[in-house]
Amino acid sequence: MRVPMTEYLLIDLDTERWICRVCAHDFGDARGNYKEGTLVYDRDPREIHPPVIDPEKYEFTFSPDPTFCRILEFYCPTCGTQIEAEYLPPGHPPTVDMLWDIDSLREKWEAHGGNPEEVVNYGPGENAETDLSARFDSVSAHSHSHNTEGH
């Protein structure tokens, strides 16, 4: 049984592993920190948030100050999907953002009886209904860039 935990991460309750929902990459022990299985890049925030006013003339420009703020981008090592983008002070340890009780997760889903990949959606409302099953089951690995899921 696989449970969608984020837009791009599943937990496989049978193997107790974090799995990429796009390409099936194994990020590691589901009882631990999925980030340990990612590739990380320390992004200068000015590259993401370009200045609106001239940085040659002004200190405050709409671009974050790289001495205050970095953006850590976490990628899937196999498909290159950006799983997280974390804003941190330079040198601050990345946040261990999710730690789940796998025994409890299993118990809850066994009690529920449904298939998590079929019953989990984005919440109430018709337009929040979605398919959160593993994409790697139905989409060949080379075509994920076509994905426009959720539209």
Partner 1 sequence: MTLTTDQFVPTSGNDDDAAQLLTDQEQQWVDKFMDETTLFLGPDPAIMRHHEIMPRTAYEEECIANGINPLEIDRIRKRLAGALDEAFEMCESMGAAPGAKWADLSCAVYTAEGDVTYLSNRGVIAFSAVLHHPIRYIMKNWKDEPTVGINEGDGFFHNDSRFGMVHNTDQSMLVPVIRGGIIIAWVGATIHEGENGACEPGGMPSGSETPFDDGLRASPIKIVEKGHLRRDLLTFLQHSTRDPKLMLADIKVKMGAVKRIMDTVDRLIDEVGQETFVASLRVTVEDVETEVRRRIGELPDGTVTFNQFVDSTLKENILIKFACKITIKGERMIVDLTGTGPEILNRAINSPLASTKSFMAQAILSYWWPDLPRSTGALSPIEVITEEHSWADAGYDAPVGQSLQASFRGFSALQTAFAKMQFSSPQKYSNVVAPWFNQINDFLWGGTTQNGEQVGNLCADLNGMGGGAKAFRDGEDAVAPLFCAMADIGEQEVMEEEVPFLQLVSKRLVRDNQGFGKFRGGMGYEMIVASRGTPSWGFMTVTSGSKFSSVPGMFGGYGCPVYPLAMVKNVNIYDIIQKDPSQFNLSIERVMNEQPFEGGDYQSAHMGLQFDVAKEGELYMIAQGAGGGYGDVLERDPELVVTDLELDRISAQTASTMYGVVWEPETYVVHEQATVELRAKMRQDRINRGTPYKEFIQDFVKEEPPADLLYFGSWGQDDDENLIATHWGGLEPERVKGKLEELPLIMVPDRRVLKISKLEARVRELEQKYGEVIEHKS
Least Cα distance to 40 among 6, 88, 4 occurs for 88
Is 69 a residue that touches partner 1 (CB under 8 A)? yes
Residue 8 or residue 136: which is nearer to partner 1 going by CB? 8
- Per CB under 8 A, contacts with partner 1 among 18-37 are 35-37
When asked if residue 137 is in the footprint of partner 1 (CB under 8 A), the reply is no
Report the site for partner 1 in 75-104 (rule: CB under 8 A).
Answer: 75, 77-101, 104
Residue 141 sits in the site that holds partner 1 (CB under 8 A): no
Kindly state whether residue 4 participates in binding partner 1, applying the rule CB under 8 A: yes
Q: How far apart are CA 35 and CA 49, in angstroms?
A: 24
Element (H, E) at 111: helix 102-112
Q: What residues contact residue 98 under an 8 Å CB cut-off, 6+ apart?
A: 5, 6, 33, 34
CB of 137 or CB of 150, closer to partner 1: 150
**35 close to 82: Cβ distance less than 8 angstroms:** no
Query: Counting contacts by CB under 8 A, is residue 147 touching partner 1?
Result: yes
Smaller CB separation from partner 1, 81 or 136 = 81
CB 17 within 8 A of CB 29: yes
| Binding of partner 1 by 130 (CB under 8 A) | yes
Give min distance, CB of 22 to partner 1, in A.
9
The Cα–Cα gap between 85 and 74 comes to 6
